[in-house]
Amino acid sequence: MAVKGNLRTPIVSVMGHVDHGKTTLLDKIRGSTVADGEAGAITQHIGATEVPIDVIVNKCGNPALRDKFIVPGLLFIDTPGHHAFTSLRSRGGALADLAIVIVDINEGFKPQTIESLQILKRFKTPFVVVANKIDRIHGWNPQRNMPFVASYNKQNERVKSELDRKFYEIVGELYNLGFNSERHDRINDFQRNVGIIPISAMTGEGIPDVLMVLLGLAQKFLEANLHYDANIPGVGTVLEVKEEKGLGTTIDVILYDGTLRKGDTIVVGSLGKPIQTKVRALLKPRPLTEIKSEEKFEQVSSVTAAIGVKISAPGLESALAGSPVRIATPETIDAITQEVQSEIEDVQIDTDSMGITIKADTIGSLEALVNELKKENIPIRKATVGDVSQRDVVEVAAIEDPFYAVIVGFNIKVLPDARDKVQDTNIRLFQNDVIYRLIDDYKDWVQEQKELAEKEMADTIIKPGRFQILPNCTFRQSKPAVVGVKIIGGVVKTNLDIMALDGTIVGRVKGLQSSGENISQAKVGMEVAMAIEGPTVGRQIKEGDTLFINVPERHAKRMENEINDSLTADELETLDAFLELKRRGNPFWAK
């Protein structure tokens, strides 16, 4: 491939919300260059498309710029989505050097737009925002493949101001997320401002600007990152693990440094021990002109970074998308295997002894999910790559704490036998392909469960109550004793035991009456008649005595530790007085 100096082609990823136009934009970048009669100039790689600098400067109508740029072109990863972005890693960073965040100008930001921006911020990846579908603005007069400003100037005033209005909504949304932004042609300093380019992926308007701004960003921010050495052993990242007819399991790889040859021994990350194998064939897509050929792929004997290539080799079945690919010699193989292993283990997350179980489709996305959960202080018991299996379900079903009998899965499937099993358990399963939705869903559920549990507890729990037997109000001595009482704290209900100040149980509340009516409870301040089963007035109880409702230890403990927020100040005070009496005999009571 063409290189200038020793800088490789920057790798570009397109991110954004579903349906906002990622695929259309990539198709346009590929297709329009073909339509311009430059078919030979763009190269279709495995999983990526390379647009050389010559094509870009021609499209922008300014070949004189050719010499201003030091990078040889742009390599677009064909799998769009923020998900692909996080999965594709190199040496712990993002594989993509640059990114495009696409947003439908008519719809504004959506969850995946926001998530893309957060991911880019975390990886410190330079990016540009494209505000897509400007051709949908009512009255838009399309100007195929023109640079944005030229097209804008051809629109009438009403259309222009409608575009401006929508555009500044996007500026506002970016501002709220902590980014200063401005239209790309008005920016002097891309370090301080994010460029927004209005485009139509459909008509091609603004696409020359996208290519230009990306080149500019590469030039400005990436020079140091793009140095590569064709003479070193190749280093890459697995894009996808794919079954191919006649070839068995193959891996699609983006090589970002060095050279890879047929016959090389490679080490590839896997779920278990790294795979050591020998490259049987290196495959590239067959050029469009030869599409009639039987073979889908063309064999090559070597490839040099940056490039997308398919590797056919034995034993790749357990290869892991997103993991490293390294070349080894007999001397280096042990060390390199170790390195690949530790690169993968690094993301196999230090877990907590108790917590939720998480699954994700690639190591990159697993790591992103773990990071976000940690930020929320949500403990993780186990974090692994892959679909939810029966084994996962069995393990999680054994967890007693319902808040942790939870599987949170990002972009994964639940295998059929696992799904059947889940239905027999009370495991809670969360699945989504937007990380922060997943986390929000889990948090909402936890909150809901807590509130439910509290409410249930508050309904059934025996609350503290303190009352005094009033003087000269004994209506009956015994069987049952009936006396007038005043509730001086908390609440008193029927069918509860009564405790004296020395801790003995003196009887049980049999009935309560107020103004001649039976009532089931009496609250602080009320004066009522109480029937007490057990004691005789003048023996076990006397007029003027202060008595407590006997709260069972388990209930006292819960009120003190778990639901004290839901108790009134008066109930808390009564509980404290009760606990003090209990703890005189046993300091650890209800602790």
Residues forming the site for ligand GDP (CB under 6 A): 16, 18-24, 80, 132-133, 135-136, 200-202
Q: Considering the complex, state which of residue 21 and residue 233 has its C-beta at the smaller distance from ligand GDP.
A: 21
Peptide bond into 306 cis (omega under 30): yes
Asked if residue 265 belongs to a known ligand binding site, the reply is: no
79 annotated as ligand-binding: yes
Task: Report yes or no: 356 and 406 within 8 Å, Cβ to Cβ.
Answer: yes
CB of 31 to ligand GDP, least distance (A): 12
Q: Is 359 annotated as a binding residue?
A: no
CB of 164 to ligand GDP, least distance (A): 18
Instruction: Tell me which DSSP letter residue 7 carries.
Output: B
Residue 557 marked ligand-binding? no
- What tokens appear for 444 in the block? 């909402």
Cα-flanking dihedrals φ and ψ of residue 358, to 5°?
-120, 150
Q: Residue 193 to residues 17, 183, 186, 257: CA-CA distances in angstroms?
A: 22, 9, 10, 30
Q: For 377-442, give the DSSP string.
A: T--EEEEEES-B-HHHHHHHHT--STTTSEEEEES--B-HHHHHHHHTS--EEEEESSHHHHHHHH
- Contact (CB, 8 A) for 547 and 467: yes
Nearer to ligand GDP, 20 or 310 (CB): 20
Annotated ligand binding at 184? The verdict is no
Containing 508, the helix (H) or strand (E) segment is: strand 505-514
Shortest CB 444 distance to ligand GDP, Å: 27
Q: For the chain, report the end-to-end CA distance as a whole number of angstroms.
A: 73
Let me know the angle formed at the C-alpha of 542 by 541 and 548, rounded to the nearest 5 degrees: 55
Judge whether 81 is annotated as a binding position. Answer: yes
State yes or no: 544 annotated in a binding site: no
In terms of CB distance, is 105 or 380 closer to ligand GDP?
A: 105
Q: Which is nearer to ligand GDP, 8 or 22 (CB)?
A: 22
For the bound state, the minimum distance from the C-beta of residue 201 to ligand GDP, rounded and expressed in Å, comes to 4
Q: Which residues contact 63 (CB under 8 A, 6 or more apart)?
A: 54, 57
If the CB atoms of residues 84 and 260 are measured against ligand GDP, the closer one turns out to be: 84
Residue number with CB closer to ligand GDP (135 or 573): 135
Q: How far is the CB of 204 from ligand GDP (least distance, A)?
A: 9
Q: Which is nearer to ligand GDP, 167 or 403 (CB)?
A: 167
| 59 marked as binding residue | no
Residue 82 counted as an annotated binding residue: yes
Closer Cβ to ligand GDP, 19 or 352, answer by number: 19
Find the DSSP H helices in 134-204. 148-153, 157-176
User: In degrees rounded to 5, what are phi and psi of residue 152?
Assistant: -60, -45
Query: What CA–CA distance (Å, rounded) separates 326 from 269?
Result: 9
- Judged by beta carbon, residue 106 or residue 518, the one nearer ligand GDP is 106
The one-letter amino acid code at 17 reads H
DSSP-assigned states of every residue in 332-373: THHHHHHHHHHHHHHTS----SS-EEEEESSHHHHHHHHHHH
Q: Which is nearer to ligand GDP, 133 or 183 (CB)?
A: 133
Q: In angstroms, what is the minimal distance from the CB of 56 to ligand GDP? A: 20
| Nearest approach, Cβ of residue 464 and ligand GDP (Å) | 59
Question: How far apart are alpha carbons 115 and 117 in whole angstroms?
Answer: 5
CA angle 115, 119, 125 (to 5 degrees): 135
The nearest distance, CB 115 to ligand GDP, in angstroms, is: 14
In whole angstroms, the minimum distance from the beta carbon of 24 to ligand GDP comes to: 3
Tell whether omega for the bond before 416 is within 30 degrees of 0, i.e. cis. no
Task: Compute the least distance from the CB of residue 182 to ligand GDP, in Å.
Answer: 21
Assess contact for 366 and 385: CB atoms under 8 A: yes
The rounded distance, in Å, linking the Cα atoms of 527 and 547 is: 14
Closer to ligand GDP by Cβ: residue 79 or 270 = 79
Exposed, middle or buried, 203 (CB in 10 Å: 0-12/13-18/19+)?
Answer: buried
Q: Is 18 annotated as a binding residue?
A: yes
Task: Work out how close the CB of 200 gets to ligand GDP at its nearest, in angstroms, rounded to a whole number.
Answer: 4
19 is in an annotated binding site: yes
Q: Is 133 annotated as a binding residue?
A: yes
17 is in an annotated binding site: yes
Q: How far is CA 591 from the centre of its chain?
A: 38
Query: CA-CA distances (angstroms) from residue 426 to 98, 455, 469?
Result: 44, 20, 49
Angle formed by the axes of helices 569-585 and 553-561, to 10°? 130
Is the Cβ of residue 79 or residue 323 nearer to ligand GDP in the bound state?
A: 79
Q: How far is the CB of 97 from ligand GDP (least distance, A)?
A: 21
Binding-site residue positions: 16-23, 78-82, 132-135
Binding-site residue positions for GTP: 16-23, 78-82, 132-135
